[in-house]
Structure formats: structure tokens, C-alpha cells
């Protein structure tokens, strides 16, 4: 059990001191020793049992020592430019501290073996204070004593800064791991909601949760856990569980795409780290020293810090890759759903078009019946002149309704349908087609491209308000090895684009926004071409492409 001792003494020049035993923590990763000064011992002697002295020298302080007996160290306290604390460790020592030959502090710090850290003496010093410092110490327990004593002067704000930095050292990686934990848990719940749970995420969840516990327990667990439980959980062997969970996750994600992304992330991370180290070395930063320290630990067989950063990187990267994979899967599913909805919509429109054509055909048959009745009446009356005029009218009307644009049945059917819709919408429709009766292009591709092109043109022309001209002009021809298609229409001068600059339909149906244009571009790309959109005039829109007919 950790004990605490607080004392107050009167010192020369109104100097007072407060010392207390507390946990000794290593300097944090973001606060260096540059603001801390150390006392240099001008002389050091070993005091023999008979009271005689003999010179003693040791340049390195260690957490344990094989020495025993009593030693005295003498040095000069530097001129204090600002107030600070005189700090040194007391565990395993009986220490007497004198300033200008006047004893200012004495302590016998024999901590129990269950104590996890060294006790420290912190003596406040006013600014401008100096003098000769003498420290006499008897080694009580060499296995727990920091010897020779490492006495340093710490500015007033340095302790608070180191405390904050120490908290940040645990908080930053723990916070990042906590965000990754929330992300992965959310992805897992999303998969359950979509009835496609990804059970391979469970080992990753346990790995990240173990990382969080490991960092919190090893950094701050002594303060909030029972001592026995802390010593069990703080053992480095428990970190093996993190590796086990990560290996289970990696084994469950043996897909080539996952390892491809992991390799890319590793290459980018290594490049970024190398660049940061080069910048740090050029600027005299601490990152290079920290990295060198990790490598020295690795050479010494200590995997603690390096192990943690590698496993943290692997866990966070795996979380990001998993999130990206889920996002991509949902995007692909959304595209498939959108495509299915469009197909269903197209089928519904085709069915409606068939009904309309059947109604039109019924109307034509009804009109033909009336015309045949009129012809029969004229024939019975032997009015051959009127009969000839009526037949001429019937033939002209029939030719107008069944305009033949080309011998290619597919293209002709599409153009006839477009012409009929243009007539209903009071749109002038002109088509110039010079192509063979058959083309080396599947009907599905030709229909999708030409129908989307004509749909957009008719839609744009229909938005033109009278008395301005509504017109659609189509030109299709063979040019070398290419099938050239050019569709031009008048429009109101307003174009809708998405955030990527792609054209959108002006229909209120959000599902089909821009889908027609994307379909045209996809088909053109299939035949080594592109679809070019332009506005040659303020109220004229142009779409054109050329499909390669043969390689």
C-alpha cells in the first residue's frame, strides 16, 4: 500500500519545502527534458564505518545497485531564474539534504515491496535562490534505490505539462481506438439491420476493445483497480490476446481485395512515417529520437511500445478497410436496386406505350371502317371523282403516319416512335439516316443509346415555351469504321448538373437523375468512344458520338 508523508520546514531566506511520496512516471512523449536542469556533483565520497572518507565516482544512475553503506554528494545549486522544484527519488534510501551546511530535509523511505513505483521528494524553490547543496544518503535497499541520487530542478509549470502530456499519451491512441470501436460496432449493427451481418468483425471488435483496456490499464490502471487485479491485467503477456483476435480477423478476411487495400495502406503509412522522420530530423524534432528508441527496444527484445503502435495501426486500418468495404457494398446494392427500379419503370412505360398503340390502332381501324363505308357509298352512286379524291386523302394520311426513315428495322421503329411522340407534343421532328439494313451492334446497345438520346431531346424540346420553336433533329450515318449519331434539339437554356458536373434529367423522378446520360456514356465507352454534350447556341443542345463498328 502506498504511503504518503508531508512535511514543512523553515529554510534560510524564508525557503519552505513540501515533500510527498507519489508515483514516479517517465517523461511523456511530448515533453522533453530541455526545461529541466540537473545538479552536477562536484565531489562524491563513501563514508566508511570508522567515519573516514574515500573518493567515490559513478557517472550513471540506475534503478538498482549492488552497493551498500553511506555516501555524500556535494554540488552547487544554480542561480534560479524562476521558481521551481528540487526533485529526487527517495525509495530504498535514508537521505539528509543540507543547503549551505544547514540541514533542510531528512527522510527514511523504505517503501513496502508491494509499492509499484518509487517515492519522490519535491521541494519548492523560490526564484533567484542559490547555494551549496549537500546530500548524504544511506542505501537501505539496493534493489529498489535510484543511485546515485538524480537531483534535478523542475520549473513550476513543467510538472503540470508532463501530467497533461502523460494523459494525452494515453488519451490520443485510446480515443482513436474508441472511434474505431464505435465505427466497427456501427457497421456490425448495420449489417444486422440489413440481414447481412459480418461476423468476421467480432474478432476485430474484441481486438480494439483489448487495445483500449491495455492502454488504460497500463497507463492509469494503478489508480482505479485493485492492486492484485492491476498486476494481473498489466502484464505484457495479456497483450497476446490482441494478436490472437487480430489474427482471427485477418484469417476471416482472406479476400484478395482486403489484402490489396491493406498493402496499399501499409505502403502509404510507411512513406508518410519516413517523410515525417526526415522532416523531424531536418528540424531537430523529437520524432526521430522516439523512433530510434522504439528500434533500440526491438533490438533489446522489448516489444511493448512498438508492439502497441503496430497493433493499433493494424486495428485502425482494418476498421477503415471494413468501413470502406461495407460502404462499397451498400453503394453497389443501391446501384443494383436503382437499375432494377429503372427496368421495372421501363417495362411499365413499354406496357403503357403498347396500350396507347393498341388504342391508336383501334382508332385507326374505326376510322378505316368509316372511310370504307364512304367509299362503298360513293361506288354505289358511281361518283368516281369523289371516290378518287377520298382515296388520295387516305393514302397521304397513311404515308404520313407510317414514315420510313431507314431500312434498319430497329432504328426505324425507334425513330417512328419518336416522331409520333414529337407530333403529340407539337415538336418538329426531322431525321436523316444513311445506314445499312443491319449493323454489327447488338440491338440492346443500339436501342439503349438511341432511345436515351431521343428521350432527352424530346424532353428538352418540350420545355420550350411557345411561340419559340420546338424542334428535334437526328442524323445517323456510317463514317468510315464508325456509326456516327448526332441529335440536336431546342431547349429553354437551363441545364441541371450534379456535384460532379454530370448532366441530370429535369424530371421530378430522383431515381433516374442522370441515369440516361450515364447509360449512353457507358455504351459509347464499350465501343471505344465518348458522348459529347454541347450547346452550340444559347437555346440549342447537342449530343453526339461515334461507335467503332470493327477493331
Mean pLDDT, residues 399-417 taken together: 78
Q: Is the pLDDT of residue 51 over 80?
A: yes
The answer for residues whose C-beta is within 8 angstroms of residue 423's C-beta and 6 or more apart is 429
Helices and strands in the chain, H and E counts: 11, 19
Highest mean pLDDT among 110-114, 296-300, 309-313: 309-313
**Which residue(s) pair with 547 in the sheet?**
483
Q: Given pLDDT bands bounded at 50, 70 and 90, which one contains residue 538?
A: confident
SS3 per-residue string spanning 132-181:
EEEEEEEECCCCCCCECCCCEEEEHHHHHHHHHHHHHHHHHHHHHHHHHH
Q: Is the pLDDT of residue 55 over 50?
A: yes
Q: Given pLDDT bands bounded at 50, 70 and 90, which one contains residue 30?
A: very low
Q: Are strands 93-99 and 7-11 parallel, antiparallel or unpaired?
A: unpaired
Q: Given pLDDT bands bounded at 50, 70 and 90, which one contains residue 548?
A: very high
Nearest to 262 by CA among 278, 275, 246: 246
CB 19 within 8 A of CB 123: yes
Q: Is the pLDDT of residue 46 over 50?
A: yes
Q: Is the pLDDT of residue 435 over 90?
A: yes
More confident site: 69 or 328:
69
Which of the residue ranges 40-49, 278-287, 430-439 would you say has the lowest mean pLDDT?
278-287
Mean pLDDT, residues 235-260 taken together: 79
**Per-residue buried b or exposed e for 508-539, using 16+ beta carbons within 10 Å of the residue's own CB:** eeeebbebbbebbbebbeebebebebeeeeee
Q: Is the pLDDT of residue 483 over 90?
A: yes
The predicted-structure confidence for 340-362, as pLDDT tens digits, reads as follows 676 666 656 655 665 666 676 67
Mean pLDDT, residues 509-514 taken together: 46
Res 100: pLDDT: 86
Q: Could you identify the residue written with the cell 444486422?
A: 192
More confident site: 404 or 161:
404
Which of the residue ranges 180-189, 347-356, 370-379, 535-544 would you say has the lowest mean pLDDT?
347-356
Which of the residue ranges 155-159, 298-302, 360-364, 434-438 would you say has the lowest mean pLDDT?
298-302
Q: In what order do the strands lie in the sheet containing 120-125? A: 37-38, 152-155, 84-89, 120-125
Mean pLDDT, residues 11-33 taken together: 37
Nearest to 203 by CA among 186, 184, 216, 218: 184
Whole-prediction pTM value? 0.43
Distance in angstroms (rounded) separating the CA atoms of residues 233 and 153: 35
More confident site: 103 or 1:
103
Q: Is the pLDDT of residue 509 over 60?
A: no
Res 169: pLDDT: 64
Distance in angstroms (rounded) separating the CA atoms of residues 14 and 22: 26
* Cell of residue 517, nine digits: 446520360
Q: Is the pLDDT of residue 208 over 90?
A: no
Res 410: pLDDT: 84
Q: Given pLDDT bands bounded at 50, 70 and 90, which one contains residue 25?
A: very low
The answer for residues whose C-beta is within 8 angstroms of residue 116's C-beta and 6 or more apart is 23, 222, 227, 230, 231
Res 116: pLDDT: 54
CB 467 within 8 A of CB 408: no
Mean pLDDT, residues 473-485 taken together: 94
Sign of the dihedral through C-alpha 316, 317, 320, 326: negative
Distance in angstroms (rounded) separating the CA atoms of residues 405 and 377: 36
Task: Write down the mean pLDDT value for the chain.
Answer: 77
More confident site: 100 or 292:
100
Q: Is the pLDDT of residue 495 over 80?
A: no
Q: Is the pLDDT of residue 399 over 70?
A: no
Res 237: pLDDT: 66
Residues above pLDDT 90, as percent of the chain: 15
Q: Given pLDDT bands bounded at 50, 70 and 90, which one contains residue 65?
A: confident
Sign of the dihedral through C-alpha 234, 236, 237, 243: positive
Q: In what order do the strands lie in the sheet containing 471-479? A: 428-434, 471-479, 482-490, 540-548, 532-537
Nearest to 526 by CA among 406, 470, 444: 444
Q: Is the pLDDT of residue 255 over 90?
A: no
Q: Given pLDDT bands bounded at 50, 70 and 90, which one contains residue 113?
A: low
Cα of first residue to Cα of last residue in the chain, in angstroms, is 85
Distance in angstroms (rounded) separating the CA atoms of residues 431 and 419: 9
Q: Is the pLDDT of residue 19 over 60?
A: no
Distance in angstroms (rounded) separating the CA atoms of residues 531 and 191: 39
CB 363 within 8 A of CB 355: no
Which of the residue ranges 14-23, 125-134, 293-302, 486-495 would you say has the lowest mean pLDDT?
14-23
Amino acid at each position: 500500500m502506498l504511503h504518503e508523508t508531508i512535511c514543512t520546514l523553515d529554510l534560510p531566506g524564508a525557503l519552505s519545502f513540501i515533500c510527498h511520496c507519489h508515483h514516479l512516471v517517465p517523461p511523456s512523449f511530448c515533453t522533453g527534458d530541455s526545461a529541466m536542469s540537473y545538479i552536477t556533483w562536484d565531489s562524491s565520497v563513501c563514508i566508511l564505518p570508522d567515519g573516514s572518507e574515500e573518493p567515490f565516482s559513478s557517472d550513471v544512475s540506475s534503478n538498482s545497485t549492488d552497493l551498500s553503506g553511506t555516501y555524500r554528494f556535494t554540488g552547487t545549486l544554480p542561480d534560479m531564474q524562476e521558481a521551481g522544484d528540487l526533485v529526487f527519488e527517495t525509495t530504498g534510501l535514508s537521505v539528509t539534504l543540507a543547503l549551505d551546511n544547514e540541514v533542510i530535509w531528512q527522510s527514511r523511505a523504505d517503501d513496502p515491496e508491494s509499492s509499484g513505483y518509487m517515492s519522490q521528494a519535491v521541494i519548492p524553490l523560490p526564484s533567484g535562490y542559490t547555494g551549496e547543496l549537500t546530500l548524504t544518503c544511506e542505501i537501505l535497499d539496493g534493489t529498489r534505490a535510484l543511485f546515485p541520487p538524480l537531483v534535478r530542478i523542475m520549473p513550476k509549470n513543467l510538472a503540470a505539462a508532463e501530467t497533461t502530456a502523460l494523459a494525452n499519451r494515453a488519451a490520443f491512441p485510446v480515443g482513436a481506438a474508441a472511434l474505431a470501436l464505435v465505427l466497427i460496432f456501427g457497421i456490425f449493427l448495420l449489417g444486422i439491420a440489413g440481414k447481412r451481418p459480418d461476423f468476421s468483425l467480432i474478432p476485430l471488435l474484441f481486438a480494439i476493445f483489448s487495445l483500449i483496456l491495455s492502454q488504460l490499464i497500463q497507463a492509469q490502471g494503478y489508480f482505479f483497480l485493485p492492486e492484485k487485479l492491476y498486476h494481473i491485467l498489466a502484464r505484457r503477456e495479456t497483450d497476446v490476446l490482441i494478436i490472437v483476435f487480430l489474427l482471427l480477423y485477418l484469417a476471416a478476411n482472406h479476400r484478395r481485395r482486403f489484402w490489396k487495400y491493406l498493402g496499399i495502406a501499409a505502403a502509404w503509412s510507411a512513406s508518410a512515417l519516413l517523410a515525417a522522420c526526415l522532416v523531424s530530423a531536418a528540424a531537430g524534432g523529437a520524432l526521430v529520437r522516439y523512433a530510434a528508441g522504439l528500434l533500440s527496444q526491438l533490438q533489446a527484445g522489448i516489444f511493448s511500445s512498438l508492439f502497441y503502435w503496430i497493433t493499433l495501426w493494424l486495428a485502425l486500418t482494418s476498421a477503415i478497410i471494413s468501413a470502406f468495404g461495407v460502404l462499397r457494398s451498400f453503394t453497389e446494392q443501391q446501384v443494383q436496386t436503382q437499375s432494377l427500379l429503372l427496368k421495372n419503370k421501363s417495362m411499365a412505360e413499354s406496357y403503357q406505350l403498347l396500350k396507347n398503340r393498341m388504342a391508336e390502332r383501334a382508332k385507326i381501324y374505326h376510322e378505316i371502317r368509316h372511310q370504307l363505308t364512304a367509299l362503298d357509298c360513293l361506288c354505289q352512286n358511281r361518283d368516281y371523282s369523289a371516290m378518287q379524291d377520298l382515296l388520295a386523302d387516305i393514302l397521304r394520311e397513311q404515308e404520313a403516319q407510317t414514315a420510313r426513315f431507314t431500312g434498319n428495322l430497329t432504328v426505324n421503329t425507334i425513330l417512328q416512335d419518336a416522331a409520333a411522340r414529337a407530333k403529340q407534343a407539337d415538336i418538329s421532328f426531322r431525321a436523316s439516316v444513311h445506314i445499312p439494313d443491319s449493323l454489327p451492334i447488338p440491338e440492346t446497345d443500339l436501342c439503349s443509346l438511341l432511345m436515351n438520346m431521343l428521350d432527352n431531346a424530346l424532353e428538352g424540346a418540350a420545355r420550350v415555351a411557345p411561340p419559340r420553336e420546338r424542334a428535334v433533329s437526328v442524323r445517323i450515318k456510317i463514317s468510315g469504321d464508325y456509326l456516327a449519331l448526332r441529335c440536336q434539339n431546342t431547349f429553354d437554356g437551363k441545364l441541371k448538373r450534379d456535384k460532379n458536373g454530370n448532366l441530370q434529367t429535369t424530371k421530378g423522378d430522383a431515381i433516374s437523375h442522370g441515369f440516361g446520360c450515364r447509360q449512353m456514356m457507358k455504351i459509347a465507352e464499350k465501343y471505344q468512344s465518348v458522348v459529347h454534350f454541347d450547346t452550340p447556341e444559347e437555346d440549342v443542345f447537342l449530343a453526339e458520338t461515334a461507335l467503332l463498328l470493327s477493331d
